[in-house]
Structure 1
Amino acid sequence: MDWDWNFVWEILPTLLKGAIVTVEATILGTFLALVAGLLFAVLRRSRSQFVAKPANFFMEFMRGTPLLAQLYFLFYVLPDFGVLLPPLVAGLIGLGLHYSTYIAEVYRAGIDNTPRGQWEAAKACNLTNCQTWRHVILPQAIPPIIPALANYFVAMFKETPILSAITVVEIMSQARGIAAYNYRYLEPMTLVGVFFLIVSLISAVGLSALERLMIGSGLTNGHD
């Protein structure tokens, strides 16, 4: 089968619509994962076992079950209990919560790398627990782990095609529909591959630059 440029220009607008959904799902899913991951990391450090153990159980459960099964539960099972979520919303929640359990471990590493003296200094200054986290611990713990957090952004981006299982029309779903309708798989699948490759390469370059910036700023070591 020969490459058909006319077919490429014909299907490109449709694929771009799917690409927008893919990028949107990645950005919003990452935001949810970053916020929820930080929450889980803090909850796991709670002195109360009634808080720490449920948080730990949830994280282990999410990491121990497939993302696809979690998406199916959100989109196909929850409606039986009266909770009906739009496909994209269910996908964002699924991606965000799934990756938050991994991101929580990254946060934990950054928090554990914060010198013990910082906690003692905050206590000596009569700071509340909330003030200690907000003004002392997190500003030191987060900058060194930004490159690691950014890696999960790339991983989530590559995972977005799975959302087609719950009828989210992202770029891969668009490509499959075009291919099946026209009986031509070469052009749509190649364009999807090029799209993911370009974004991944750009992200890799950005991550390398970010890591060099962190090293140059002395922020990769929480003891500096």
Structure 2
Amino acid sequence: MNDVFSPEAFGEVLPVLWAGFRITLLATVFGTLIAAVLGLVLAIARRGLPRVVSIPLISAAEFVRMTPLVVQLVFANLLLTQFSSLTIGIWVLGIHYSTYMAEVYRAGIDSVPKGQWEAATALSMSRRRTWRAVVLPQAIRNTLPSLGNYAISMFKETPFLFAIGVVEMVTAAQQYGASTFRYTEAFTLAGIIFLLASYPTSVLVRKLESRMAY
């Protein structure tokens, strides 16, 4: 019978968790990139496109934001059978979080003083140049800390990928525990890895918030 807790088991489970951690990191990095880009597109579209286009887009984003991530994962995996589960998971994570990041970008855009828009108009700047040279640099600067927080949240929600068969770190820990009955060691080490990976990012986000506060 296994001991209640065995530190020696850490050495056995670490390679298993490391393989799962690479999947977790991959999903987080690419999911965050998709969310950051798509969220910015949604925010600009909400402000710049005609209402006949922006309203359906906003409604679709609200639907994605208000439905559970795990349901979206399962539905997409059943529908898009031609893609790998990991690819589907990355895109679903990215699209799901893009709806939250779009709201962050929107708040950043709204925080740009009205006088900046008026000054750009007075200088005869085109709308595209106004966005690129005046509005977006200020909006993105103001939203970086919040975007970092959502990246951390995505990292912690990657275990939902188990629903579509992706063996990320938590699923790897569960599988190891099921085969060895060492659940305590596997999940303890998984929690430590999550902490070691997310804590430096959270510290960086807090520093960004302090430096950009005004």
What band does the TM-score fall into relative to the shorter chain?
over 0.9
Structure 2 unmatched runs, 5+? none
Q: Does 1:122 align with 2:128?
A: no
Specify the code of the residue in structure 2 equivalent to 1:71.
Answer: L
Shift in Å at residue 213 of structure 1? 2.1
Q: Which whole-Å CA distance do the structure 2 matches of 1:200 and 1:147 have between them?
A: 14
1:51 aligned residue: 53
Distance 1:183 1:133, change over 3 A: same
Indicate conservation of the 8 Å contact 1:74/1:85, yes or no. no
Q: Deviations over 1:21-44 (max 9, x none)?
A: 111111111111000000000111
Q: Which residue of 2 aligns with 1:149?
A: 147
Equivalence for 1:134? 132
How far does the alpha carbon of each residue in 1:15-63 deviate from its partner, in whole angstroms, 9 at most, with x for none? 1111111111111111110000000001111351222112111111101
Give 1:201's aligned amino acid. Y
Q: CA deviation at 1:210?
A: 1.7
- Structure-1 residue corresponding to 2:4: 2
SS at match of 2:48: coil
Match of 1:86 among 68, 84, 87: 84
How do 1:165-180 and structure 2 match up within 5 A? Answer: 165-180=163-178
Q: What are the superposed Cα offsets for residues 110-168 of structure 1, whole Å, 9 maximum, x if unpaired?
A: 10010111112222222222211111100111112211111101111110000111111
Fraction of identical pairs, as percent: 45
Q: Of the candidates 169, 172, 191, which is equivalent to residue 193 of structure 1?
A: 191
Correspondence for 2:76: 74
Q: Which residue of 1 aligns with 2:19?
A: 17
> How far apart, in 1, do the equivalents of 2:48 and 2:212 lie?
30
Kindly report the root-mean-square deviation, in angstroms, between the aligned alpha carbons of the 2 structures.
Answer: 1.4
Query: For residue 194 of structure 2, what is the amino acid of its counterpart?
Result: F
Give the Cα–Cα distance (whole angstroms) in 2 for the partners of residues 66 and 207 of structure 1: 26
The one-letter amino acid paired with 1:43 is A
Q: How far 1:194 moved relative to its partner? A: 1.1
Runs of 4+ deviating beyond 3 Å: none
- Superposition deviation, residue 76 in structure 1: 1.1
**Structure 1, unaligned runs of 5 or more:** none
Q: Pick the aligned partner of 1:106 from 101, 104, 107.
A: 104
For structure 1, which segment, 123-132 or 112-121, has the greater mean C-alpha deviation from structure 2 after superposition?
Answer: 123-132
- What letter is aligned with 2:153? A
